[in-house]
Chain A
């Protein structure tokens, strides 16, 4: 079964706009929530991550918002740029598991 549900499947945003990708999970044992970015022909690369002791984490134009009670987390990309066009995966892990469960991915296209 899909441990992490991600939406939307695809997203088109104008340059300078805000891109928002959402994820939800059921397993309350999950305690680590990273986002990975994947360009065509490349492997995924860690973009930003959060642990449930905080509700928000910001790194440059990228922000994770985390809602523990709703079991949801989201990625916000501010001032989206054409270079941000890629597929974004949310993921989750539980303490001691040492591996990741990935969402189905969101293909982001930023139009110049």
Chain B
């Protein structure tokens, strides 16, 4: 079974530029998450989708971050304009039935460096 796919793996941009990350979850997983992992910290939830609807985006800095999951499969996370403090690894995760399995499956992440 293929895992969660993310791209690009690495991205370096100047502050105030924009960047987009792509995620393809495990086939059949209805729930998709974007987490931000700053160096030395645990992952922090940015946004959670159930199919193509947003379940929780309370921690998403909406003035600069946006995310979509138009067809209930792939998702993109965009940052515009980027700030220095956005340097982090952006992890995408998916879940088939978290309420019963309690398991999130993570991709390898997209590492963003903002200069």
Q: List A residues at the B interface (Cβ < 8 Å).
A: 4, 6, 32, 34, 41-46, 49, 89, 91, 93, 95-96, 98-105
B99 touches A99 (CB 8 A): no
**Minimum Cβ distance to chain A for residue B30 (Å):** 10
CA distance A67 to B43 in the complex (A): 24
> Which residues from chain B contact A95 at a C-beta distance below 8 Å?
99
A98 touches B98 (CB 8 A): yes
Give the residue of A32, A46, A99 whose beta carbon is less than 8 angstroms from that of B33: A99
A32 touches B102 (CB 8 A): yes
B54 at interface by CB-CB < 8 Å? no
A44 touches B43 (CB 8 A): yes
Give the residue of B40, B43, B50, B103 whose beta carbon is less than 8 angstroms from that of A102: B43
Give the residue of A43, A49, A93, A96 whose beta carbon is less than 8 angstroms from that of B93: A43
Name the interface residues of B69-115: CB closer than 8 Å to any CB of A: 91, 93, 95, 98-99, 102-104, 106-109
